[in-house]
Every structure is written in structure tokens, then in C-alpha cells.
Amino acid sequence: MCFFFSRHLSHAEALKAHNSPRWWKLHEACLLAMGRCKQLLNDMLVTGYVKIDLEAFIRQVPLADLSQFDYPYLVCQAALFAGRFSRLLSAEVNRIFLDGICQLLEHAQHPIINLSSLRAFYYYCEEVGVDQTNDVVHYLPRIFEGILTTMSRIPQSAYIWPLESLAILISVDETFVSTIEHRLSPLAIELFVNYVQDPLINGETTAIIKGLVHNSKVSSLIQERLIPLVQSIVDNNSVPSALPRIAPSLAFSVIDLLTTVLRSLNPPINSNLLNQTFPVVIHLLVTSDDQQLLINGGECLCAFLSCVSVDLFSWKDSKTNVSSIEYILQVLAKFLDPKTPENCCTFIGKLIRGFIREINKTNQPSLLGDTLGQILKAVLAKLQ
């Protein structure tokens, strides 16, 4: 196999020396084939079954080909190949690769080169490992700008690669993320709202928001920015005018996002997020008849209990002076009512267990009063 690759590359160099316009196709074909055999080639290199100076090869072929802007498909394969094998390369060669990727993002005119550069960066982070990517920190500002530029030049159908790159970028360095939060958080929320019905984009934007929430330096800020979005489910006037309205039939997606946020954050929760979104979830659970919304709302209430119970049990609604425990009991009363359809109550067992467990953790069982017996009676009635 290596013999054939070597022969094709030698032939390509001969064609290039004679100014043939076909030389790049041999380079592209070899890089594509070797990239597809990445795992096999990697195993043979590690075990010593084949002897190839991989660093010399990557310097002479893929990294050299990154400057061939007249042949965009060759540049794409060169970037992807170098990214796939970055684990086997020295820090010096990887720095040359990262610098080349940034150059492509800044100067390439063909969108496919930008997309492949971002994919190569993604491969690099996967191969090297996010916790071992100290060398890439220096390049993060340029890569972030490249992601934004790329997204401004491509159709929605191609958003997935830039978003995947963005999701992995924010996991590299918390300090850098704190410098771009004011641009990144609004972008992620806007994409979530605009493409809430697209499962791929929705999944990646949720992952980005989850990563921001998990970042201790910006967690409180992103929680604050999510409040108007959650409130817009019940009050369209609360959503910023720059964002489109969330259709009532898609409100369950916003509740699902809130659940993800709650399960991702490190306590304490932003007090404004608790004060302004918990009543929204309760309101939806008590008043709505939409099955999917009730299921997602129930899971969200379970997330409130399991993730921020310390803050939750000391909370009271400033408008009605009703405690969180009383609100939860209202929800339990509705879903334990025999008249409530069972397909909407899939979460109720988890909610009851979580409610009692978290109450016990407070060492204040008196918070339940005599309602525990009422809950058990309601459960028995529901089972009949």
C-alpha cells in the first residue's frame, strides 16, 4: 500500500514539474485514501509494521498543499489529513498545522475550504484530547473569528460543522471563553430559537449552551441571558424583539433546554434564573394539556429538585408568597388525579422519589407536614 502511495506521489511531482494541471488530483486521491485508512495506518505505524517518517511526509505533502488555494479540494483533503494524524505528530508540526488552519480561515475564498479547516480543527482536538491542547489556546481567537466568518458565508444546511467546532472550542480554555461570552451566548440562543425544529442544529446549540453553563467563569451570565427565552413561553412580550417568537407547540424544546442547563450547572443557581423560570415551569405543568410539554416540564421539575434543591426549598414566590413546596404539591395533586391521562405522568414516580429524598437531605422532615400521607393516598388512588 505504501509503495503505491509513494509511486502516485512521485508521479504527481513529475506532473507538477511539467506544469500539468492534473498533479493535484493524485495528491488529493492519496490523501483521501490514506485518510480513509487512518485507523489501519495508525495501527501499523504504532506497532512498527510499516516504517514511514510521518512527520516528514506531512511537512512535505499535506502542510505544503495548504497553500494551494487554486485547488480547493486538495486543500480540504490536506487539512483533514493533517488533523486526523495530529496525535502522532510533534508539538512543532502541530503548531505549523494550526497556523495553517488559521491562515485558511482568514484568507481562503472558497467556503468548502473554511468548512474543512474547521473540521480539521475538530479532528485535532479529538485526536490530541481537549485536556492536552495547550498549544491551541494561542489560536483560539483566530479560530473563533473564522467560525463566525464561515457561518456568515454558508447555508443553514452546512451549519453543523462550524457548530461542532464551536462546541469543542469552548471546552478548551475557560478564560478565553469568558472574553467572548458577550458574543457567543447571544449567538447560541439566537440559533436555538431560529432553528428549534432542526434536530442537528438544535442539538449542537444545546451542547454549546451546556458548555457555557458548565464554565464557572460565564455560567451566571448565560443563565441570566436564558431567562427571557423561558419567560417567552408564557409571555411573548418578554422575549427580545430581535428574536423570533417560539411557537407554543415548540415550547417543550425550551423547557428541555432549561432541564439541560439545570443538570449542567454547578450550584448555586443564578437567583434570577430560579426566581423567574421556576414559576413558569409550575404554571405550564398546572395549566397546560399538551402531552409533550407536560412530560418535559415534569423532567424539568425533577431537575430543579435534584440539582438545586437547597436553593429551591428556601424559595418563595415574591408575588403570591407561595413556597416552592406548595407549588410542587399542586403539581403532584394534578398528576396523581385519576382523571389525568397516564401517558402524561411518566415522570411522576421520579418526581415523588426525588421530592421526598431531597426533603430528607435538609434534615427538616417537618417541611412536608402531614402531606406525606396525602401523597401516598393519592398514589394508591392513582394505581387503582
- Residue 81's nearest CA partner among 58, 113, 47 is 58
Separation in Å, CA 106 to CA 72, 93, 147: 15, 20, 10
The three-class DSSP label of residue 234 is coil
Q: What share of the chain is helix, strand, coil (3-state, %, to 5)?
A: 75, 0, 25
Mean pLDDT rounded to a whole number for the chain: 85
> Taking 60 as the threshold, does the pLDDT of residue 237 lie above it?
no
Amino acid 136: pLDDT? 87
Q: How many CA within 13 A on the CB side of residue 29? A: 13
- Report domain extents, the chain: 53-172, 198-384
Q: How far is 116 from 99, CA to CA, in rounded Å? A: 15
More confident residue, 24 or 384: 24
pLDDT per residue over 126-151, tens digit each? 888 766 667 788 999 999 999 999 99
Predicted TM-score (pTM) of this structure:
0.86
Please name the residues in contact with 149: beta carbons below 8 A apart, sequence gap of 6 or more: 105, 114
What lies within 8 Å, CB to CB, of 278 at 6+ separation is 304, 312, 315, 324, 327
Q: Quick one: average pLDDT of 357-361?
A: 78
Residue pLDDT, tens place only, 293-308 = 999 999 999 999 888 8
Yes or no: say if 204 and 164 are a contact pair by the CB < 8 Å rule. yes
Tell whether the model's pLDDT for residue 1 goes beyond 60: no
* Predicted confidence (pLDDT) at residue 371 exceeds the cutoff of 80: no
Just give the CATH number of 53-172: 1.25.40
pLDDT digits (tens, 9 = 90+) for 11-57: 667 777 777 778 888 888 888 888 888 788 777 777 777 777 788 88
- What are the beta bridge partners of residue 316? 323
